[in-house]
Amino acid sequence: MKLRAISSFLCFLTATGLHADVTARYSATIQMSALLPGMDEAVKAVQSGMPSSTVVRMKGGKGYSKFGKMEAITDYTKQEITLFDTATKTYAIAPVSQLTETLTGAMPDVPGDAGKMLAAMKTHFESRKTGRTETILGIQGEETEGVLTVEGPAVPGMPQNGPMMKMVMRIWVARPEETLRVQALREMSGYKQYADNVMNTGTMLKRVLGKMPGMGEGIDSMFQEIQKNQSVMLRTQMEMQMPMLAQLAQQMAKAGQPLPAGFDPNAPFMQMNQELVELSDAPLDDALFRVPDGFRQVPVEELVKSMMPARAAGAMMPAGAKQ
């Protein structure tokens, strides 16, 4: 879940602009299934920890973004980012390059045996334009579908029939003619291109993904596909299947261990949806692009650590399965 949080946060840090005032708000939902006994509380913790909305504001050479409890102001002229946390009333200022190093360092190294298993995994990503269109917030969008599969070596004592993981992403972006028609959308597109080229979001993500042996190539291809289209995202839907966990649950049931209430082996392990619900070019107050009074400055490492609370990877494992 840390990888997902970092990737989303990086995208929203840099999805800001340079000319007219623009505000964009996205709603977000996440649903997870407890496929194994003992996962219920961990699932609830993950669901409650994900923000229900994200906000992006643009004015002049600065951008503001909010992801969960963390807020950020990006100064494109200085290529500098200010992070601040309203809960602790702290903030940190860092060049983009330093933030990249800090985020990379915040990703824990995968320990020995787990690292070897990840390195042996094979990832594959493919995408296609579906030809489907839909109107979202009055804007015509077109859909691209991407499928990421993860194949891994057989694990002793674990059933494995099919991929270890399959993730399907459906992304709707604004059609090119809509960008010309809608002023706020045009501004957002210009800022997105600037962020991708100058702030180099792709490189930032690639360095973070490098901490995931065996996983980087397929996920990197997925982000490259997302960045290829310079239009603004209107909606993103992601569905993750974990066939191995479902098979393990059925094996445990045969051994007499009760399954979680409402267990469905065919249900997705996780579904995440994000959709544009507000787009405005109304003037914005300069104060929105400054850290509020009364905040205390701290090292950027401290804020990044608070952004990603230490939640052990084993938290998503069933009770009794932790090493």
pTM here? 0.73
Distance CA 261, CA 36 (A): 10
**Residue 84 pLDDT > 60:** yes
Per-residue confidence (pLDDT) for residue 13, from 0 to 100: 47
Backbone angles phi, psi at 3, to 5 degrees: -60, -45
Residue-wise pLDDT for 184-240, tens only, equals 888 888 777 766 665 555 555 555 555 555 555 556 666 666 666 667 889 999 898
Per-residue confidence (pLDDT) for residue 4, from 0 to 100: 45
**Residue 5 pLDDT > 50:** no
Distance CA 3, CA 63 (A): 23
Q: How confident is the model at residue 2 (pLDDT cuts 50, 70, 90)?
A: very low
**Residue 92 pLDDT > 90:** yes
Per-residue confidence (pLDDT) for residue 274, from 0 to 100: 92
Higher pLDDT, 258 or 319: 258
Backbone angles phi, psi at 157, to 5 degrees: 80, 0
Instruction: Please compute the mean of the pLDDT values over residues 44-59 and round it to a whole number.
Output: 77
The CATH architecture to which 2-314 belongs is: Clam (2.50)
Residue-wise pLDDT for 110-152, tens only, equals 555 655 666 667 778 888 889 999 999 999 999 999 888 888 7
Higher pLDDT, 12 or 271: 271
Total number of residues shown for the chain: 323
Percent residues over pLDDT 70 in the chain: 59
Instruction: List 277's β-bridge partners, or say none.
Output: none
Distance CA 285, CA 21 (A): 9
* C-beta of residue 59 within 8 angstroms of C-beta of residue 21: yes
Residue-wise pLDDT for 263-313, tens only, equals 676 778 888 899 999 999 999 999 999 999 999 999 988 888 776 644 433
Distance CA 149, CA 151 (A): 7
User: Residues near 197 by Cβ (< 8 Å), separated by ≥ 6?
Assistant: none
* C-beta of residue 308 within 8 angstroms of C-beta of residue 6: yes
Q: How confident is the model at residue 106 (pLDDT cuts 50, 70, 90)?
A: low
**Residue 45 pLDDT > 70:** no
Instruction: Please compute the mean of the pLDDT values over residues 52-75 and round it to a whole number.
Output: 86
Which string of DSSP letters, residue by residue, matches 79-114?
Answer: TEEEEEETTTTEEEEEEHHHHHHHHHHHSPPPPHHH
**Residue 80 pLDDT > 60:** yes
* Domain regions of the chain by residue span: 2-314
**Residue 262 pLDDT > 80:** no
Which string of DSSP letters, residue by residue, matches 213-239?
Answer: TTTHHHHHHHHHHHHH--SPEEEEEEE
Per-residue confidence (pLDDT) for residue 118, from 0 to 100: 61
Distance CA 216, CA 161 (A): 23
Higher pLDDT, 161 or 33: 33
Q: Is 72 exposed, middle or buried (0-12, 13-18, 19+ CB in 10 A)?
A: buried
Higher pLDDT, 36 or 253: 253
CA distances from 229 to 129, 132, 191, 242 (A): 11, 16, 13, 29
CA distances from 51 to 4, 9, 68, 234, 237 (A): 12, 11, 5, 18, 15
Distance CA 273, CA 252 (A): 31
Q: How confident is the model at residue 98 (pLDDT cuts 50, 70, 90)?
A: confident
Residue 174: helix, strand or coil by DSSP?
A: strand
Q: Within a 10 A sphere around the Cβ of 112, how many other Cβ atoms?
A: 8
Which string of DSSP letters, residue by residue, matches 302-323?
Answer: HHHHHHS----GGGGSPTT---
Averaged pLDDT score across all residues of the chain: 74
Instruction: Please compute the mean of the pLDDT values over residues 92-111 and round it to a whole number.
Output: 73
Per-residue confidence (pLDDT) for residue 9, from 0 to 100: 47
Higher pLDDT, 20 or 225: 20
